[in-house]
C-alpha cells in the first residue's frame, strides 16, 4: 500500500507541475508589440548650434537594430566618406571621421533604418539635425518625381540642389543638399539657406552625388527660390474625450514651393557590348549583344573561310543575330573561330570599333550505345514544318503568318492557294506574300479580309524548301473572319487640338494596343475588341512618330505625356466618341489609379 501510495503522490506532483507550466505560458501569447522604438535621449541635443564634435549618440527605450543603413541613411550635405553608424543595445552611435564644414547645417535622415530588435517595428523618417554655425537653416522645398514615359511615381531617386546654377555643376560637383523620393515619388529637401537653386533628379549609381553618363535624371527648367510665410493653424485643447475646452490659433511657418514636378528619364544611350556566342545546334550559331545595333557586325573566319556559306538572320534591333550554316563540312566542325568586328561603347558611351576573337563551339549531347545504334540504323529524314496563325474567329486587321524553324531557300507561289469559301465552293483569290524577316523564315500573306467571311489557305507539298533541302507536307487551314458587330469603334478628339499629338490606346496593364496621330475630326480606332481601355497621348515634337526621351547634352526634356483620367468600357457593335482634354487636370493627378505602379523596377536603380 505504501508503495502504491508513493507512486500516486509522484504522479499527482508531475501533473501539478505540468499544469503550472501550461498556465505560465499564457502571457506569452499576448498582443503583438507594434510600437516602434522611442527616443529618450540625444547627445548632443537635436538642433544643437555651434557643434564642434564628431560624435552623436541617441538612446532609445528598447533594444534596436539597423536595417540596410547604407541605403536608408541620407545625409545633407552629402558625404563622400559616410560616417560610421552602429547600434549596440539601446544606443545608436554616429561618428564622423572627417572635420565638419563651418557654418553648415547637417541633416541625418534615417528613413526606415531604425527598428526594434524583436518585432522589427520601424521608426520611420527619424531625423537628426545640427549646425556648426550659429543658426539652423530652415528653408525647405518639395514635390514629386514621375517617370516621364508613363507618369508612374518613381521611388529611391535622389533630388538634389546646387547654388551654382550653371549646367556644369550637375556633372562636376556633388549636390549641396539632397532628398530621396519615397514610395509614391514624393521628395523633400530640408534645411536650405535662403537663396536661388538649380534642382535635379539623379539615379546615383556611382554614389558620388554627380551625374555620370548612363545614369537616369530629371531636369527642372526653372530656378528654385525657397519661400516661407506664416499661416494660422488651429490647435484644439480638449477638456475631456468629447468636450472641447479651447481652440487656439497659432502662426506656423509654411515652406515652399512644395508642388514641384520632376520628370525622370533615361537618355537613349545604352552601353554597347558583345555578350556571348551560342551554338546549341550544329547548323547555326547566335551572337548576343547588350544593346540594339545600328549596323550588323562583321565576321572574318580564322583559318578556312566559311563566311560565304552562311545566311544571316537578325531581329529588328540587331542585338540577336543568328548565322545559319549552309555547308555540310562547316556544320560538322565543332569549333568555329572568327574575328568579330563591331561597335562598342567606351567609358563616355561613345561608339568605337572593337575587334574580338570569338569561338562558336558545339557540344553534342551524350548518348548511350543503344541510342547511337538506333540512330545509325534509321537515317534521319527531316520534314519542313510550317506553322500558321489561322484560327477562327480571325481578326480582320491581321495578316496570315507562316513561320518555319529554318530559313527558306525558295517557295512556289503557284503552290500556295487562298480561297474564299462560299456554300462549300472555293473561290480563288489574288493575294500578296511578303518575307517578314531577313532569313526568309517568316512570311505574311496579305489580303483585305471581309467580315464574317470564311477563307481557306491550301499549301501544296513541297511549296516551301529550306536551305537544307527539306520540304513541307501539304496542309490546309480554314478560318472565319470575326463579324463587325463583335468589334467596337473608338473615336478620340483632343482638346486643345495639336497636330503633333499621337494617341495611344492602352490595356489594363498600361500596354499600348493601338496608336494613331490626332486628327481634327477625331482619330478613329476601328476593330477594337470589347474590353476596358485607357488613353494616353504624347506630343511628337521631333516628328519621328514615336516617343522621344530627354537629352542632357541638348538640355532637352522628354516629349510631354498625358493620360486620360478614366477607364473606357467598349461594348460590341458600339461606336464611342470621347473628348480628351489633356491639359485640364494637373499631370500629377492624370493617371488612373488602376494603372499606377512604382516605375523604379524598370530603371535598374539598385
State pLDDT tens for residues 435-482. 999 889 999 999 999 999 999 999 999 999 999 999 999 999 999 999
pLDDT band at 601 (very low <50, low <70, confident <90, very high): low
Q: Say which residues have a Cβ less than 8 Å from residue 441's Cβ, sequence separation at least 6.
A: 313, 403, 404, 405, 406, 407, 408
User: How long, in residues, is the chain?
Assistant: 606
State pLDDT tens for residues 62-102. 999 999 998 899 999 999 888 999 999 999 999 999 999 99
Helix or strand holding residue 174 (H, E): none
Cβ–Cβ < 8 Å for 68, 115: no
| Torsion sign across C-alpha atoms 149, 561, 520, 489 | positive
Mean pLDDT for the stretch of residues 338-362: 93
State pLDDT tens for residues 141-185. 999 999 999 999 999 999 999 999 998 999 999 999 999 999 999
State pLDDT tens for residues 99-112. 999 999 999 999 99
- 407 C-beta neighbours (distance < 10 Å), count: 21
Mean pLDDT for the stretch of residues 418-432: 96
Strand segments (E) across 10-83: 39-43, 55-60, 64-66, 74-76
- 213 C-beta neighbours (distance < 10 Å), count: 15
pLDDT higher than 50, residue 18? no
Residue identified by cell 516661407 is: 228
Q: Count CA within 13 A, CB hemisphere, residue 283.
A: 10
pLDDT higher than 70, residue 16? no
pLDDT of residue 367: 67
Check whether the bond before 148 is cis (ω within 30° of 0). no
> How far apart are alpha carbons 483 and 520 in whole angstroms?
29
State pLDDT tens for residues 499-535. 999 999 999 999 999 999 999 999 999 999 999 999 9
Domains of the chain: 39-228 (2.60.40.1220), 274-361 (2.60.40), 387-482 (2.60.40.1220), 486-602 (2.60.40.1120)
* Biggest CA pair distance of the chain: 112
pLDDT of residue 34: 83
pLDDT of residue 249: 72
What the block records as the C-alpha cell of 184 is 509614391
For the chain, the average pLDDT equals: 90
pTM (whole model) above 0.85: no
DSSP annotation of 471: B
Question: 277 in helix, strand or coil?
Answer: strand
Amino acid at each position: 500500500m505504501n508503495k502504491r501510495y508513493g507512486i500516486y503522490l509522484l504522479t499527482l506532483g508531475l501533473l501539478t507541475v505540468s499544469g503550472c507550466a501550461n498556465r505560465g505560458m499564457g502571457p506569452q501569447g499576448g498582443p503583438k508589440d507594434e510600437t516602434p522604438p522611442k527616443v529618450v535621449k540625444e547627445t548632443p541635443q537635436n538642433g544643437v548650434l555651434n557643434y564642434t564634435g564628431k560624435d552623436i549618440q541617441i538612446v532609445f527605450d528598447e533594444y534596436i537594430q539597423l536595417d540596410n543603413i547604407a541605403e536608408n541613411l541620407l545625409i545633407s550635405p552629402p558625404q563622400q566618406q559616410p560616417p560610421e553608424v552602429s547600434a549596440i543595445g539601446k544606443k545608436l552611435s554616429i561618428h564622423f571621421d572627417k572635420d565638419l564644414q563651418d557654418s553648415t547645417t547637417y541633416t541625418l535622415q534615417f528613413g526606415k533604418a531604425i527598428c526594434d530588435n524583436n518585432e522589427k517595428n520601424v521608426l520611420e523618417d527619424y531625423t537628426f539635425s545640427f549646425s556648426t554655425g550659429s543658426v539652423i537653416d530652415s528653408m525647405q522645398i518639395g514635390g514629386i518625381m514621375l517617370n516621364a514615359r508613363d507618369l508612374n511615381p518613381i521611388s529611391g531617386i535622389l533630388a538634389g540642389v546646387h547654388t551654382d546654377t550653371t549646367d556644369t555643376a550637375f556633372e562636376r560637383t556633388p549636390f549641396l543638399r539632397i532628398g530621396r523620393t519615397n514610395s509614391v515619388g514624393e521628395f523633400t529637401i530640408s534645411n536650405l539657406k535662403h537663396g536661388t537653386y538649380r534642382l535635379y533628379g539623379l539615379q546615383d549609381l556611382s554614389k558620388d552625388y554627380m551625374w555620370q553618363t548612363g545614369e537616369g535624371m530629371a531636369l527642372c527648367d526653372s530656378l528654385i527660390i525657397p519661400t516661407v510665410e506664416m499661416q494660422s493653424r488651429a490647435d484644439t485643447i480638449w477638456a475631456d474625450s468629447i468636450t472641447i475646452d479651447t481652440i487656439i490659433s497659432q502662426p506656423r511657418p509654411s515652406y515652399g514651393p512644395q508642388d514641384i514636378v520632376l520628370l525622370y528619364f533615361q537618355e537613349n544611350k545604352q552601353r554597347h557590348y558583345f555578350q556571348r556566342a551560342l551554338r546549341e545546334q550544329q547548323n547555326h550559331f547566335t551572337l548576343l549583344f547588350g544593346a540594339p545595333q545600328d549596323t550588323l557586325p562583321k565576321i572574318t573566319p580564322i583559318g578556312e573561310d566559311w563566311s560565304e556559306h552562311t545566311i544571316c538572320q537578325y531581329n529588328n534591333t540587331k542585338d540577336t543575330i543568328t548565322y545559319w550554316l549552309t555547308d555540310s563540312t562547316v556544320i560538322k566542325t565543332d569549333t568555329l573561330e572568327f574575328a568579330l568586328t563591331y561597335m562598342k561603347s567606351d567609358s563616355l558611351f561613345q561608339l568605337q570599333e572593337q575587334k574580338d576573337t570569338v569561338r562558336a563551339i558545339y557540344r553534342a549531347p551524350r548518348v548511350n550505345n543503344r541510342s547511337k545504334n538506333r540512330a545509325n540504323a534509321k537515317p534521319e529524314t527531316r520534314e519542313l514544318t510550317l506553322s500558321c496563325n489561322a484560327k477562327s474567329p480571325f481578326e480582320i486587321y491581321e495578316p496570315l503568318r507562316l513561320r518555319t524553324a529554318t530559313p527558306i531557300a525558295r517557295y512556289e507561289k503557284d503552290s500556295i492557294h487562298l480561297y474564299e469559301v462560299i456554300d462549300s465552293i472555293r473561290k480563288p483569290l489574288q493575294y500578296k506574300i511578303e518575307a517578314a524577316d531577313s532569313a526568309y523564315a517568316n512570311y505574311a500573306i496579305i489580303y483585305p479580309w471581309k467580315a464574317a467571311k470564311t477563307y481557306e489557305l491550301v499549301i501544296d507539298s513541297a511549296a516551301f524548301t529550306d536551305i537544307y533541302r527539306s520540304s513541307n507536307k501539304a496542309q490546309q487551314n480554314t478560318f472565319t473572319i470575326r463579324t463587325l458587330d463583335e468589334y467596337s469603334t473608338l473615336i478620340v478628339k483632343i482638346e486643345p487640338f495639336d497636330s503633333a499629338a499621337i494617341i495611344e490606346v492602352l490595356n489594363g496593364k498600361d500596354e499600348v494596343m493601338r496608336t494613331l496621330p490626332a486628327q481634327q475630326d477625331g482619330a478613329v480606332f476601328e476593330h477594337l475588341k470589347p474590353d476596358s481601355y485607357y488613353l494616353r497621348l504624347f506630343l511628337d515634337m521631333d516628328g519621328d512618330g514615336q516617343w522621344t526621351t530627354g537629352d542632357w547634352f541638348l538640355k532637352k526634356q522628354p516629349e510631354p505625356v498625358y493620360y486620360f483620367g478614366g477607364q473606357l468600357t467598349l461594348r460590341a457593335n458600339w461606336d464611342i466618341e470621347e473628348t480628351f482634354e489633356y491639359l485640364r487636370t494637373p499631370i500629377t493627378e492624370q493617371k488612373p489609379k488602376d494603372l499606377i505602379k512604382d516605375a523604379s523596377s524598370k530603371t535598374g536603380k539598385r
